[in-house]
Amino acid sequence: MKPFNFQLSAFNSKYAQTIVRLSIFALLATVLVLLFPRYNNTFRYHFEVGKPWGYNTLTADFDFPIYKTDDQLAKEQKQLLSTFTPCYKYLRGAQRDVNVISLQEMEWLQSEGFGRIAVKKNNLSKTYPLSEVYTPKSAFARYGYDCAQNLVRDTVLTDQMRDKLLSSLSPTQGMVQKGEKIIDHGEIVTERNYQILQSLRRAYDDESLGNKQRKLSILGEAILVVLFLCLFVVYLYVFRIQYLRSTSTLLFFALQMFIVIALACLALRFNLSVYLIPFVWVPILTRVFFDSRTALYLHFTTILITSIVVPAPVEFFFIEIVSGMVAVSSLSDMTRRAQLVQTAAWILFTQCIAYTAITFAQTGVLASIDSWTYLYFLIAALLTVGCYGLIYMFEKMFRFISSITLVELTDINSELLHSLAEKAPGTFQHSMQVSNLAAEAAKAIGANALLVRTGALYHDIGKMSDPLYFVENQTGVENPLLTMDPRDAAQVVISHVTEGERIARKNHLPEVVINFITSHHGTSLVRYFYNTWCNAHPNEEVDASLFRYPGPKPTTKEGAILMMADAIEARSRSLEDFSEESIAKAVNQMIDTQIADGQFAETPLSFKDVEDIRRVFTARLTAMNHHRISYPTLNKNN
């Protein structure tokens, strides 16, 4: 029962990890759909007069009226009100032989363009032209005696009559029938098309229609987002399964998508251009820490999701996809800060060209170019340069390592490597030779040469604590290990791994470099002292664990290369014959021993990789140890 319980527990743990990793994308999909702007309910088409319709042919899904424009309504209202007559009434007890109003009221009538007024008298209304209406001053001039104001405006009746008149004005002009074509793909938006499209937008704002459409819209968005994320997960499963098995890597991918899409949604909510957002952050950051293929695929996924909500999605998709391709192509291996500036410049240039080209292709009109868009591209390019800060942030958050950091770590003038060169010069030279061997082998099989070079420089830093216990640092002194019990001597040798890990952590080296330190001997035996003990005690049972490194075994191609290079470089120092045959024999024996010991069982090395590594090591060691010609000496007579 115990083995069964263990297996069940392991299965449950594995199942739980899978659920957690998939939940990352499920949560991302939910958050993104909630973030999507809900402007104008489900009507998200972007259109301008004089520009082509960038979507599929649009037909009416329901009947809707064509609303008049504000200018049309204002003109018709003005024309209708020109026939309107304001209502007045006599003041109580006032004379009624002359119609007298205040000067301010006369000025208002004239400014509004009214030519007559209606005066209510004995429940009857009589209309007077404005020429028969006076102010106190004009009445005195006309009749020669003072005439007091006797009329005031009946505001209640006037507003009622005015509203009744305006209500007779229809806000619409015609109808669009269900199934009727509104506009074709690529058709230039005219004033008439624009009016119909605005009417359709207004129809979507109707609450009775909007609730149903809003639910279907959210459902459609959710399906699309889940579909695009599932395609990315399938890509990881087929081509990059190691990424799919890493929770931190999946969080990194999801966080990148969330940041840029959230910024895009925020820009849309505030009616800002989506081109202000540096979407190329995604491929740049992914390429810095991972590979170009994954960077492009993640960028495509991000742009597809964003295209669901942006105006003019075809134009947006075209420009941003091209930008991402340029970003990945121009940043094949980022080792200098200046490369990011160069990449941003290339992206800016490409975006300007792409935008100009697609606008000309759609409209063929120079005036359709929006010069502000070029400014948006420039701002986004400047923000792209700011990606350097994100690289540092993500390195710390997820314990990733970038090429820039690796280059900085390979500086032999750094404090730690300088200390190694001073305290253990032989070990330092050994590490330099191993780094060169390992880097050449990594290039030959497509592994990360810069990473393995960095790991090789630090793999033996533990020997700094007691350098004289290691033969490469012993110059003219007897090896103290030979006077010790083989078991104790083996422990001294083994301790350089744990000591190296301690020094590395104290100096805050990245975890990936520490992995090289702990795994460069795997779980192999310290064979010199193991064999010495066995030969000296032929009839005793040996405890092999006293002579075995603690591990772990290497799990990457780079780790396996370092393990091979370290052992072979050390072995080459004991050779007396440096012919190609002798070196090849030593290389093959050492690698075969490591393979037989199962040291590379957890690495993805192929048989071809191993053969290529053998070939590189043999050629490199032969070149390093080639014989030079002897220079002749001068005869004493010369």
Contacts 24+ apart (CB under 8 A), 34-37: 35/261, 35/262, 35/265, 36/221, 36/265, 36/308, 36/309, 37/265, 37/268, 37/269, 37/309
State what percent of residues in the chain have pLDDT above 90: 41
Average pLDDT of the segment spanning 483-499:
92
Q: What was the pLDDT predicted at 538?
A: 86
- What the chain holds in terms of domains, given with CATH numbers, is 2-38+211-398 (no CATH), 72-167 (no CATH), 404-624 (1.10.3210)
Minimum mean pLDDT range among 9-18, 301-310, 337-346, 516-525:
9-18
Count CB-CB contacts under 10 A for residue 54: 19
Q: What was the pLDDT predicted at 144?
A: 80
Strand pairing class (87-90; 116-121) = parallel
pTM across the whole model: 0.67
* Short-list 507, 498, 512, 612, CA closest to 558: 512
Average pLDDT of the segment spanning 113-134:
85
Q: How confident is the model at residue 503 (pLDDT cuts 50, 70, 90)?
A: very high
Strand pairing class (124-129; 172-176) = unpaired
Minimum mean pLDDT range among 40-49, 211-220, 285-294, 518-527:
40-49
Average pLDDT, the chain: 86
Average pLDDT of the segment spanning 384-392:
85
